[in-house]
Amino acid sequence: MAIEKKGMSAYEAERERTVEENKRKMEALNLRHLSAAVAPKTPSPMKHKRRRIIEAATPVPSPPRRSRRLAHIPEVKYADVGEDSERVGRWSPRRRSGSIYLAGGGGGPISMKARMEAASKAEELESQLDPEFPSFMKRMLHSHVVRGFWLGLPSHFCDTYLPKNDCTITLVDEKDEEFESKYLAYKKGLSGGWAGFALDHVIRDGDSTVFQLIKPTTFKVHIIRAAVGDDNNEEME
């Protein structure tokens, strides 16, 4: 047993004796040499994670989606339109107000007189229809058949005869061909499907139509064409 050093507390002396005793035990068991023999001479190399290389996918162009009702209409390629092609300008006070130029469909200008005559014929046709089936007359405007293709229906007619919820309205032309359109009850008008009907029947800004409700959700549509002429002598009053 080692003698306590001078000035060392009892705790420190006990700790010193324990350390010396542990050293003697380790020497007796030869633990230092054994651990050196077991320990690997060279550290094991770190495993490198293999990076996954993701090749950039080449986008495959897909053809534009078109309505089935417009599939038979040739696609317009705007790149083929030359700079000298005829463009539709805005209305100007210097122009003759009796002529309204179409943005599509061709056929030339339609005078205000021709518009009024078409509307008068439509009213006459409506008066000859069976009163058992409610009907109304609608003059075609630029927003109906050229840009936007939104057809608002008379509010009182919608409230009285048409469903209160959105539904599919069938449009039947004079050849009894049927076209489906989307009726929006809260807006009281036709949206999806009306564009296909208007384009398929080449309805122009200036024509008039008569809608006859032959079934709860089916309209018979009569189209009265506005005459295209050279009557462009009407000036703005």
Name the pairing type of β-strands 167-172 and 218-224.
parallel
Instruction: For 163-211, write each residue's pLDDT tens digit.
Output: 999 999 999 999 999 999 999 999 999 988 999 999 999 999 999 999 9
DSSP 42-63: SPPPPPPPPPPP-PPPPPPP-P
In a domain, 15, yes or no: no
- When divided into structural domains, the chain yields a total of 1
Percent of the chain past pLDDT 70, that is, above it, reads 60
Answer yes or no: are the C-beta atoms of 213 and 133 closer than 8 Å. yes
> Which pLDDT score is estimated for 124?
93
Q: Is residue 130 part of a domain?
A: yes
Q: Is residue 165 part of a domain?
A: yes
Residue with tokens 């009726």: 183
Q: Which CATH number characterizes residue 121's domain?
A: 2.40.330.10
Range of the domain at 155: 112-224
Evaluate whether residue 63 is within a structural domain.
no
- Examine the pLDDT at 139 and tell me if it is beyond 50: yes
Give residues with Cβ within 8 angstroms of 160, minimum separation 6: 134
- Answer yes or no: is 202 within a domain: yes
What pTM did the predictor assign? 0.53
